[in-house]
């Protein structure tokens, strides 16, 4: 599997893809040459440079941005206020290529830290640098494209975890690591402004990011760089998105005329439904994520096999979490791959072959593939994750917070406090689990008792008691639903409306509305008391 993901042409071989990218920029520079003399100078310097210098230059985010903006200005006649600045950046790039030890953006960094010593290792952004023309353009890109992120110089611990994370990645999947990291020129440690401390159990607002307008660059939050294992995972994750973007720019991954505005969308069942639409993925994002999850399955499989052996070098890692992440990676990739088959016409010739290649890898290497079309297991992953997050946050409320009124929720107007709303939710989820089992023609196991109704819910419980009760109810519901073979959920029984898998989806949809209201209330109460 690794050889295919890392070395197979045209989709795996990173050197081949970078060669295609070089050819693309050579053609674009030739197109610019009649209007931008500096383009000719860069083109000649690229051809005279050594392979490392060429690769680092064409991967540089500022060089790429300057070329793209000049093409838009001179070929598409788009207004470009900084066209003269972009032409000057090309002139400076040509001069730097005479001694290409660094990429253009890296030239102004005095103390340059890299992920490693090899040619394919990118460098790590530092705020302490010369504010030259390249830095000015890069900061303008950040302000325009990712204004919510604040870049930072990593401290010694985070820097060490990044370097050791790259080393761990190359220990576990050496070919895939090299093939992926070859597309990452810059690693930026960044975060969003902290409006307030996170409540225990609250997910961070930002973990990692790749932006299609800032190529060759990945953004990682400090919270995902807490140890080498997590750093390795996110270097691979975001690096693969960059690799896909290079494929997208050099191969017919999407049909001619593809538009995000008109693209079909996929709703991943493991994400909460969001009114903003952020939980909906268009075809181009969905196929990139399928690629990421397929490769992550290999990463987690290798990590599981070698966790004990590598612990003395890279620290301990939770084996159960590795097992869970491995299964989820296979399941999510398979789900997306199947859904994308229904949107196949949105892909170009290369994109269709790419999808077939990924689906073939999954069929070959997944030891326990889910049934075709199944998604209940993915819904229950979300159900369990929500239970852990909610119970953790609930347990950190004060007893007085439990008595505060909660804004009315449609369908449960009589439940006006956290314990009462939680009890209402427990009763509904238990009842709906019974309905799902009845639709499946199955009986509930003995001892599966519904919690007391909301009207009789105790109002003076400790927060930890309410959290423990909620966790227990969700665990029982999840266990019962997971005991049913996944394929049975897709069978519509006579008189069963909706189908069992859709009934599980409706159960989570109902609960999500309540949990969203409760989480908002609990977070406000926690910070008001802090």
pLDDT-derived band at 525 (thresholds 50, 70, 90) equals: confident
What per-residue confidence (pLDDT) applies to 499? 82
In the predicted model, is pLDDT for residue 101 greater than 60?
yes
Residue 182 in this model has a pLDDT that exceeds 50: yes
pLDDT, position 82: 93
Residue 186 CB partners (closer than 8 Å, separation 6+): 61, 103, 105, 106, 122, 123, 124, 125, 216, 217, 218
Nearest to 420 by CA among 473, 387, 457, 462: 457
| pLDDT recorded at residue 492 | 63
SS3 category, 150? strand
Q: Are 32 and 39 in contact (CB under 8 A)?
A: yes
Chain segment 448-498, per-residue pLDDT in tens: 765 544 434 444 578 899 999 999 999 999 999 999 988 888 776 555 667
* The token pair that represents 24 in the structure block: 């693309």
The tokens 């998604």 sit on which residue?
375
| Mean pLDDT, range 420-443, rounded to an integer | 89
pLDDT score, position 414:
58
pLDDT: is 256 or 497 the higher one?
A: 256
Instruction: State residue 374's pLDDT score.
Output: 86
| Lookup: tokens for 469 | 């009760």
**Spatial CA neighbour of 444 closest among 432, 428, 457, 453:** 432
The pLDDT assigned to 524 comes to: 82
Q: What's the pLDDT score for residue 246?
A: 97
For 368, phi and psi rounded to 5 degrees?
Answer: -145, 70
Mean confidence (pLDDT) of the chain:
90
Model confidence at 382: pLDDT above 60: yes
User: What does the pLDDT average to over 105-111?
Assistant: 93
**In this predicted structure, what is the pLDDT of residue 494?**
56
| Percent with pLDDT over 70 in the chain | 93
- What's the half-sphere exposure (Cβ side, CA atoms, 13 Å) at 414? 7
pLDDT at 271: 87
Domain boundaries, the chain: 252-369, 376-529
Are residues 30 and 67 in contact, defined by beta-carbon separation less than 8 angstroms?
A: no
State the CATH class of domain 376-529: mainly alpha
Give the tokens for residue 151: 């870049």
The whole-number average pLDDT for the span 91-114 is 90
Count the Cβ atoms, other than its own, within 10 Å of residue 148.
11
- What is the pLDDT confidence band of residue 212, given thresholds at 50, 70 and 90? very high
Report pLDDT for 195.
Answer: 66
Q: How confident is the model at residue 417 (pLDDT cuts 50, 70, 90)?
A: confident
- How confident is the model at residue 452, as a pLDDT? 47
In the prediction, which pLDDT does 523 show?
83
**CB 174: neighbour CB atoms within 10 A?**
12
> Given pLDDT bands bounded at 50, 70 and 90, which one contains residue 273?
low
Model confidence at 411, pLDDT cuts 50, 70, 90, reads low
pLDDT of residue 412: 53
Q: CA geometry: angle at 329 spanning 326 and 335, to 5°?
A: 140
Any idea which residue has 């997944």 for tokens?
366
Please report which confidence band the pLDDT of residue 276 belongs to, taking 50, 70 and 90 as the band edges.
Answer: very low
Residue with token string 């005479």: 98
What's the pLDDT at 530? 62
In the beta sheet, which residues pair with residue 265?
282
What is the structure's pLDDT at 458? Answer: 47
pLDDT tens digits, one per residue of 323-374: 999 999 999 999 999 999 999 999 999 999 999 999 999 999 999 998 888 8
pLDDT band at 280 (very low <50, low <70, confident <90, very high): confident
- Token code pair at residue 439: 């639709």
More confident residue, 511 or 11: 11
Tell me which of 154-158, 333-337, 525-529 is least confident: 525-529
Q: pLDDT higher for 413 or 334?
A: 334
Judged on CB neighbours under 10 Å (0-12, 13-18, 19+), 130 is exposed
pLDDT at 457: 45
Cβ pair 140, 157 in contact under 8 A: no
With cut-offs at 50, 70 and 90, classify the pLDDT of residue 405: confident
User: What is the mean predicted confidence (pLDDT) over 387-416?
Assistant: 78
Q: Give the pair of three-digit tokens for residue 141.
A: 């890109």
As a whole-number percent, the residues of the chain with pLDDT over 90 amount to 72
CA 100 and chain centroid, separation: 33
Q: What is the pLDDT of residue 415?
A: 52
Give pLDDT, residue 208: 96
Residue 275 has pLDDT above 60, yes or no: no
Res 495: pLDDT: 57
- Rounded to a whole number of angstroms, the distance between the first and last alpha carbons of the chain is 50
The enclosing H or E element of 459 equals none
The structure's pTM equals 0.92
φ, ψ at 333 (rounded to 5°): -60, -40
The pLDDT assigned to 459 comes to: 46
> Mean pLDDT throughout 243-259?
97
């Amino acid at each position: 599997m690794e050889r295919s993901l890392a070395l197979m042409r045209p989709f795996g071989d990173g050197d081949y893809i970078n060669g295609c990218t070089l050819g693309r920029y050579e053609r674009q520079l030739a197109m610019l040459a009649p209007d931008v003399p500096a383009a000719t100078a860069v083109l000649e310097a690229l051809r005279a440079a050594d392979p490392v210098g060429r690769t680092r230059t064409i991967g540089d985010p500022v060089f790429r941005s300057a070329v793209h903006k000049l093409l838009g200005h001179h070929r598409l006649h788009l207004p470009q206020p900084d066209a003269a600045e972009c032409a000057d950046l090309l002139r400076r790039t040509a001069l730097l290529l005479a001694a290409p030890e660094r990429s253009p953006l890296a030239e102004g960094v005095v103390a340059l830290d890299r992920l490693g010593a090899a040619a394919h290792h990118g460098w790590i952004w530092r705020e302490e640098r010369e504010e030259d023309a390249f830095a000015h353009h890069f900061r303008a890109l950040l302000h325009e494209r990712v204004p919510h992120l604040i870049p930072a110089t990593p401290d010694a611990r985070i820097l060490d975890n990044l370097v050791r994370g790259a080393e761990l990645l190359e220990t576990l999947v050496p070919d895939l690591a090299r093939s992926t990291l070859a597309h990452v020129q810059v690693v930026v440690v960044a975060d969003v402004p902290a409006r307030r401390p996170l409540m225990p159990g609250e997910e961070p607002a930002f973990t990692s990011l790749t932006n299609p307008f800032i190529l060759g660059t990945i953004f990682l939050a400090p919270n995902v760089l807490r140890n080498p294992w997590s750093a390795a995972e996110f270097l691979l994750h975001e690096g693969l998105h960059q690799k896909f973007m290079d494929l997208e720019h050099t191969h017919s991954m999407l049909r001619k005329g593809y538009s995000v505005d008109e693209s079909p969308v996929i709703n991943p069942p493991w994400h909460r439904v969001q009114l903003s639409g952020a939980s909906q993925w268009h075809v181009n994002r969905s196929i990139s994520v399928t690629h990421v999850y397929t490769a992550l399955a290999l990463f987690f499989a290798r990590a599981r096999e070698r966790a004990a052996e590598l612990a003395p070098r890279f620290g301990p890692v939770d084996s159960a979490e590795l097992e869970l992440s491995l299964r989820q990676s296979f399941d999510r990739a398979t789900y997306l791959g199947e859904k994308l088959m229904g949107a196949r016409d949105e892909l170009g010739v290369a994109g269709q072959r790419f999808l077939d290649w990924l689906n073939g890898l999954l069929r070959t290497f997944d030891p326990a593939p889910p049934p075709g079309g199944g998604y209940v297991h993915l819904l229950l992953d979300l159900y369990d994750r929500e239970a852990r997050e909610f119970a953790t946050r609930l347990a950190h409320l004060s007893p007085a917070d439990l008595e505060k009124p909660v804004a009315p929720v449609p369908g449960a107007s009589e439940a006006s406090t956290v314990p009462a709303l939680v009890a209402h939710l427990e009763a509904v989820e238990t009842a709906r689990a019974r309905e799902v089992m009845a639709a499946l023609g199955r009986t509930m196991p003995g001892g599966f008792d519904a919690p007391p109704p909301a009207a009789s819910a105790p109002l003076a419980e400790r927060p930890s008691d309410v959290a423990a009760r909620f966790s227990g109810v969700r665990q029982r519901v999840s266990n019962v639903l997971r005991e049913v073979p996944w394929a049975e959920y897709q069978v519509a029984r006579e008189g069963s409306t909706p189908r069992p898998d859709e009934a599980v989806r409706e159960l989570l949809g109902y609960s999500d509305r309540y949990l969203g209201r409760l989480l908002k209330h609990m977070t406000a109460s926690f910070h008001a008391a802090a």
